[in-house]
Chain A
Amino acid sequence: MSSLGELSTFAAASVRMATPLALAGLGEAYSERSGILNIGLESIILSGAFCGFMAANATMSLALGVLAGVAGGLLMSLLHAYLSVSCRADQTIAGLALNFLAAGLTSYAFLLRFGKSTDLPRCPVAPPIAIPVLSDIPLLGPALFDQNAFAYASFATVALSVLVFRRSEWGLSLCAVGESPQAADSVGLSVERTRYAAAAVNGALGGLAGAAITLGSLGFFMENVSSGKGYIALVAVILGRRQPLGVFAAALLLGAADALQFRAQAMGLGIPSQAFIMFPYVATVLVLLFSIGKGSEPAALGKSFDRSRR
């Protein structure tokens, strides 16, 4: 195979592996901009992957599966918002608790529905859609224009998020609530409502990320199928400094590191496999190292807001 061909399949694999990270990371960027640090992202993805699969398995319809996946993500994210915004619980602890809850609940419900069997319950998988002409561009064509609907959704979400954050009033109020909830409240913005809305966007996108795993790649569900993607997506959010383009670029970097490790291993270079498996993590540490001190966290990130207290 030509080296251009190899580069092209590598680029396509990078985008494929980045898709769930990008979707979930973008969702978390909304949440964090509004002041909610939701480390329960893993639970959102897992719930989305599970609900999406269950609906698609029962109806054999991809569209219904995607809807259910989004609903599953929303459920977890709104539960986090209820705990952290309405009940003012510690955001980090609520997020952690949800991760455990989702892991247990989805595998329990899966067992309840299908039992301990050796058959593999299935659902339809979203096929790649090649965009005429564009997909024939060498190198980038297959990576950007011959992907499934989930990857296209992640591209669209990036573009839309840039507009929301930079141009829309809602984006502005989102940041205001995250920077100084007291000030936002005093000019008549509802902190609670804004944060719930941000949580809803996070849930919907995270649910879509989960559906991208079960409905976009695997066509089946297994216990803990998200296997830590929520945590990796959180890294993408920090690396990308909560900027849509930054988060997307970080997700691509992490996806590319994963795609590279298998290709490098298969070349038989005489390097132990463990060294390649470290790739994504080494890349993360390096980028974090070079971006120290430049972080711009929303001032009220992780803090609950109590109107009656000043």
Chain B
Amino acid sequence: MPEHNVFHRRIEMKRILLAALIALCALAPALAQSAGSAKALKVALILSGPANDQGWNAVALQGLKDAEAKFGIKSAYSENVGIADGEAAFMDYASQGYDLVIGHGFQYGDPAVAVAKKFPKAKFMAIEASSSSANAASYVIGCEQAGYLMGILAASLSKTGTIGFVGGIEQPSIVKIGEAYKLGAKAYNPAIKVLDVYIGSFTDVNLGKEAALALADKGADVLAHSANQAGTGVIKAAEERGLLATGDSWDQSVIAPKTVVCSTVYNVPVLVTIAVDKVRSGSFAGGVFNMGMKEGVVDIAPYHDFEAKIPAKAKAMIADLKKKITAGAFTVPVIAKPTSR
């Protein structure tokens, strides 16, 4: 049947065209990547979410770009690397001859140590982790220092006497911020009620928003988050309900200037450049290193439009504690397990 054959040939043609299109799509990014010089230090960054999350991952990528500009390194990064793929991502970069591979999050600590054993010449670093070996280090950001100050601020602005915290995945690096937030709030107002919820995701923005609305429904009128991309949903929820919020990782005031009072600031670029500088000078060592306000890694953002609306007592308390923490005269406790459960 000739008609039959023509029909099948047409289907065949369509399939070939489709295959060619798909192949082209797959090749395009590979072709776009330029080959750098062989001598430059090669640094790779592994991110848990998208690099344009306006938060946790965005600041890390900024750090990589800063180091590139400052030291002329050759850099690469991977986005959306899940917990299960962490080890493979470290392995990939190490076997491609990267000198320093950075995993940006608590969940990359163990994969870094595991891969470090197989590549003794390369250096590995996990931000916010707790594991280390001879050539793998964990750089821990003192996020709890800023979380404590946010708690004071939130307690001073609450009219209902209830404030809320939305965390991403319940893991030590996030819980310590939420717990410090509670301690700070109680230090300002011992009668304050702090509600906390963990949503089990750093990326589901709508879930973050709904979690925040649930806390608002329960009477919380100042909301904090530590949930990266999903946290943007928390700020959105506060804006929609006419409540106040505090940001996380960087000055998130631009997201909602009339809602975001202040933000914690984690100066990850400083951290990344410290690590790159150590690898360059040959002084990189394994271990767990704490870095906070003293090292210029942790700070809080300006109050912007809220300067006049924050009680003077809270402002004075925050300014005083900031000085004490920087000088080492006051230590915010690190609590790794939620106290409410």
Q: Which residues of A contact B (CB under 8 A)?
A: 1, 6, 9-10, 13, 16-17, 83, 86-88, 97, 107, 110-111, 114, 116-120, 125, 213, 217-220, 222-225, 227-228, 258-259, 262-263, 265-266, 268-274, 277, 308
* Chain A residues in 8 Å Cβ range of B210: 13, 16-17, 258-259, 262
How many residue pairs at the A-B interface have CB separations less than 8 Å? 125
Given contacts A13-B214, A118-B250, A266-B214, contact A272 B197 (CB under 8 A): no
Given contacts A13-B213, A217-B209, contact A117 B52 (CB under 8 A): yes
In the bound complex, do residue A116 and residue B52 qualify as a contact, i.e. CB atoms below 8 Å apart? yes
Given contacts A111-B52, A118-B54, A270-B341, contact A262 B211 (CB under 8 A): yes
A120–B229 alpha-carbon span in the complex (Å): 11
A87–B52 alpha-carbon span in the complex (Å): 37
A9–B210 alpha-carbon span in the complex (Å): 11
A120–B55 alpha-carbon span in the complex (Å): 11
User: How far does the Cβ of B52 sit from chain A's closest Cβ, in whole Å?
Assistant: 5
Q: Which of A1, A110, A119 contacts B218 (CB 8 A)?
A: A1
User: How far does the Cβ of A78 sit from chain B's closest Cβ, in whole Å?
Assistant: 15
In the bound complex, do residue B197 and residue A120 qualify as a contact, i.e. CB atoms below 8 Å apart? no
B198, B199, B206, B250 — most chain A CB neighbours (10 Å): B206
User: How far does the Cβ of A109 sit from chain B's closest Cβ, in whole Å?
Assistant: 12
* Chain A residues in 8 Å Cβ range of B167: 273
Q: Which residues of B contact A (CB under 8 A)?
A: 4, 7, 11, 14-15, 18, 22, 49-54, 58, 61, 80, 164, 167, 170, 195-201, 203-207, 209-211, 213-215, 217-219, 229, 232-233, 236, 240, 250, 254-255, 338, 340-341
16 further contact pairs, Cβ within 8 A, besides A218-B233, A265-B198: A13-B213, A16-B210, A116-B52, A120-B232, A219-B236, A220-B205, A220-B232, A222-B53, A222-B229, A223-B229, A224-B203, A227-B205, A266-B195, A268-B340, A270-B341, A271-B341
* Chain B residues in 8 Å Cβ range of A13: 210, 213-214, 217
Given contacts A87-B15, A88-B11, A222-B229, contact A227 B204 (CB under 8 A): yes
Question: Can you name the residue of chain B whose Cβ is closest to the Cβ of A269?
Answer: B341
Q: Which of A16, A83, A225 contacts B205 (CB 8 A)?
A: A225
* Chain A residues in 8 Å Cβ range of B80: 223-224
Question: Can you name the residue of chain A whose Cβ is closest to the Cβ of B197?
Answer: A265
A306–B236 alpha-carbon span in the complex (Å): 50
User: How far does the Cβ of A100 sit from chain B's closest Cβ, in whole Å?
Assistant: 10
Question: Can you name the residue of chain A whose Cβ is closest to the Cβ of B213?
Answer: A13
In the bound complex, do residue B254 and residue A120 qualify as a contact, i.e. CB atoms below 8 Å apart? yes
A269–B195 alpha-carbon span in the complex (Å): 12
A272–B339 alpha-carbon span in the complex (Å): 10
* Chain B residues in 8 Å Cβ range of A259: 210, 214
A110–B218 alpha-carbon span in the complex (Å): 36
* Chain B residues in 8 Å Cβ range of A265: 196-198
Q: List 14 A–B pairs whose Cβ atoms lie within 8 Å, in order of A's numbering.
A: A6-B217, A87-B15, A111-B52, A119-B54, A125-B240, A222-B50, A222-B232, A223-B50, A227-B204, A227-B205, A268-B341, A274-B200, A277-B199, A308-B7
A6, A9, A265, A277 — most chain B CB neighbours (10 Å): A265
In the bound complex, do residue A227 and residue B198 qualify as a contact, i.e. CB atoms below 8 Å apart? no
Given contacts A118-B58, A268-B341, contact A227 B50 (CB under 8 A): no
